[in-house]
């Protein structure tokens, strides 16, 4: 099966290959035919092998995208969100005066638990060295310090000592100067890994293409040679071999096109939106935390207000139609299949604009000396406060994010599905082509004896 010289059944001279050189020197046809036959069989085998390697690699890369790098980037995003939400929640709980509301405490504790879980997942996936490991080590060593400072702040607050707010400031400084930058770097690393896995999964299969075309060309050449020399129009073995290679090529290209299509869809309607929405959510949290800290600083919060303005420009531009929210809307509109996600993104502009308006009002109240009214506008529970505008915006972004992640998972699993069996299939087709070509040529070779 693997060489033209194999002699399975027929009675034959003991070592026919010994006689090939004479034939090459001699009549020509059998020698050329035998040489061509070996070449064709080898190329067909190579086609099967490269099909196996290429398609296995593709399937692995697709699996990595769907089951590793994307979930990891979601995990990294959750880590960042949980940390920055904890910071914003702690700041605004402090603002309300007296005991912090139970809901705020619950939210803070859920955030810390989320961050711990996300950290464990990220540690499990990261190697023992490299930049991801360093950032993870930094976060995991500083997170307990952060929570310790927050609890100390809480204890002093309960004793009515202003020292509590000092500890809270120290905690927030640690969060903003160390934990959040590390989490942000980690998320960027994970996003870069996702992009690299995806490009591995969709790299053009040049080797397979070249080998397949070469196999077809050789099969055609041998067929043509035989037709000229033997006057027989078609060699069934070669025909089957050509068919197998053609089917293999068609399968490969069908599968790869479908896979690339789904992966592209997973990016366009999935992870690209996930990324924009994640950044949007982080910007909204930053604004919320700045808003609280401006009030906590009480007139000494100009830098937080500057931060707020920068983050709000990034998030929604002037009116919620620009910035990240605008990009999220455009992405959702360009890939319309998910109406629910579109609806969630569509309402963010209004809530963003509403929040900015409340924020301007509360800044005006604070600047004209009505501090308590400003705090009320920032933290109050009724509909027209910054707290509820933020909660609505955050909720919508969360919904849109969940939809985008679902879409990603769906398309990524379809991309994997498109490749099912293609590695084994092309390998088998390569073997079939080699066997058929070998058989067909051997048939002709027999005739020369």
Partner 1 sequence: MSRRRRLAAAALTVVAVALAGCGAGGHAVTVHPVRSAGAPRPAGVKPYHPPASAAPAPPCDPRASGPRPQGQLPPPGQMPAGSAMDRIVQRGRLIAGVDQNSYYFGFRNPSSGQIEGFDIDVLHEIARAILGDPNAIQYKVVTSAERIPALTSGQVDIVADSMTITCDRLQQVAFSTDYFDAGQRVLVRKGSGYTGLKSLAGRKVCAAGGTTSIRTLAESADHPVPVAVDNWTDCLIMLEQNQVEAISTDDSILIGLAAQDPYTEMVGPRFTDEPHGLAIARTSPELVRFVNGVLERMRADGTWNRLYDHWLTPLGPNPGPPRAGYAD
Query: Which residues of the chain form contacts with partner 1 (CB under 8 A)?
Result: 95-98, 128, 137, 141-142, 144-146, 149, 156-167, 169-171, 173-174, 297-300, 368-369, 371-372, 375
What is the sign of the dihedral through the CA atoms of 185, 191, 193 and 199? negative
CB 440, min distance to partner 1, A: 50
CB 185, min distance to partner 1, A: 18
- 116-140 burial: b if 16+ Cβ within 10 Å, else e: bebbebbeebbeeeeebeebbebbb
Which residue, 272 or 386, has its beta carbon nearer to partner 1?
386
Residues 180 and 84 sit within 8 Å (Cβ to Cβ): yes
What DSSP line would sit under 62-115, residue for residue?
Answer: HHHIIIIIHHHHHHHHHHHHHHHHHHHHHHHHHHT-SSPPHHHHHHHHHHHHHH
What DSSP line would sit under 272-308, residue for residue?
Answer: HHHHHHHHHHHHHHHHHHHHHHHHHHTT--HHHHHHH
Which residue, 149 or 208, has its beta carbon nearer to partner 1?
149
Which residue, 195 or 297, has its beta carbon nearer to partner 1?
297
CB 297, min distance to partner 1, A: 6
Which residue, 5 or 142, has its beta carbon nearer to partner 1?
142
CB 162, min distance to partner 1, A: 4
CB 128, min distance to partner 1, A: 5
Which residue, 47 or 167, has its beta carbon nearer to partner 1?
167
CA distance 141 to 157: 25
Which residue, 170 or 346, has its beta carbon nearer to partner 1?
170
Which residue, 178 or 413, has its beta carbon nearer to partner 1?
178
Quote the crossing angle between the two packed helices 236-265 and 206-230, to the nearest 10°.
160
Helix (H) / strand (E) element for 393: namely: helix 386-418
CB 179, min distance to partner 1, A: 11
CB 168, min distance to partner 1, A: 10
Which residue, 272 or 375, has its beta carbon nearer to partner 1?
375
A 10 A CB-CB count for 428 gives 16
Burial class (CB in 10 A: 0-12, 13-18, 19+), 152: middle
CA distance 85 to 87: 5
Helix (H) / strand (E) element for 173: namely: helix 163-174
CB 290, min distance to partner 1, A: 14
Residues 6 or more apart whose CB falls under 8 angstroms from that of 270 comprise: 404, 405, 407, 408, 409, 411, 412
Which residue, 220 or 299, has its beta carbon nearer to partner 1?
299
For the chain, count helices (H), then strands (E).
Answer: 17, 0
Considering only CA atoms, which of 95, 110, 86 is closest in space to residue 291? Answer: 95
CB 72, min distance to partner 1, A: 19
Which residue, 153 or 277, has its beta carbon nearer to partner 1?
153
CA dihedral 90, 93, 98, 101 (to 10 degrees): -120
CB 98, min distance to partner 1, A: 5
């Amino acid at each position: 099966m693997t060489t033209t010289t194999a002699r399975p059944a027929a009675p034959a001279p003991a070592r026919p290959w010994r006689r090939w050189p004479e034939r090459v020197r001699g009549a020509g046809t059998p020698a050329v035919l035998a040489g061509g036959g070996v070449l064709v069989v080898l190329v067909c085998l190579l086609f099967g092998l490269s099909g196996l390697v290429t398609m296995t690699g593709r399937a692995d890369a697709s699996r990595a995208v769907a089951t590793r790098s994307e979930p990891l980037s979601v995990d990294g995003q959750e880590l960042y969100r949980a940390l920055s939400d904890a910071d914003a929640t702690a700041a605004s709980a402090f603002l309300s005066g007296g005991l912090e509301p139970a809901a705020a405490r619950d939210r803070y504790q859920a955030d810390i638990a989320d961050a711990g879980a996300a950290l464990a997942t990220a540690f499990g996936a990261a190697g023992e060295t490299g930049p991801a490991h360093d950032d993870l080590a930094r976060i995991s060593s500083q997170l307990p310090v952060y929570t310790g400072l927050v609890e100390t702040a809480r204890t002093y607050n309960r004793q009515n000592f202003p020292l509590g707010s000092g500890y809270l400031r120290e905690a927030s400084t640690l969060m903003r100067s160390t934990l959040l930058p590390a989490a942000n770097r980690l998320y960027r690393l994970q996003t870069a890994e996702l992009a690299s896995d995806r490009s591995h999964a969709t790299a053009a299969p040049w080797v397979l293409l070249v080998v397949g075309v070469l196999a077809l060309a050789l099969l055609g050449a041998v067929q043509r040679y035989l037709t000229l020399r033997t006057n027989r129009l078609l060699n069934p073995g070669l025909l089957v071999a050509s068919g197998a290679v053609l089917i293999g090529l068609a399968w490969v290209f069908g599968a790869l096109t479908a896979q690339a299509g789904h992966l592209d869809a997973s990016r366009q309607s999935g992870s690209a939106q996930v990324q924009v929405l994640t950044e949007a959510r982080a910007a909204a949290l930053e604004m919320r935390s700045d808003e609280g800290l401006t009030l906590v600083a009480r007139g000494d919060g100009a830098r937080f207000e500057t931060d707020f303005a920068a983050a709000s420009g990034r998030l929604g531009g002037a009116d919620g139609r620009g910035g990240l929210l605008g990009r999220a809307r455009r992405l959702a509109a360009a890939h319309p299949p998910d109406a629910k996600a579109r609806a969630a993104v569509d309402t963010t502009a209004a809530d963003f604009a509403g929040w900015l308006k409340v924020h301007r009002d509360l800044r005006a109240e604070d600047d004209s000396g009505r501090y308590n009214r400003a705090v009320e506008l920032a933290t109050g529970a009724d509909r027209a406060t910054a707290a509820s505008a933020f909660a609505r915006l955050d909720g919508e972004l969360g919904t849109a994010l969940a939809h985008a992640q679902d879409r990603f998972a769906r398309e990524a699993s379809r991309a994997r599905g498109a490749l099912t069996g293609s590695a084994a299939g092309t390998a088998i087709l390569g073997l079939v082509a080699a066997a058929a070509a070998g058989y067909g040529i051997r048939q002709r070779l027999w005739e020369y004896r």
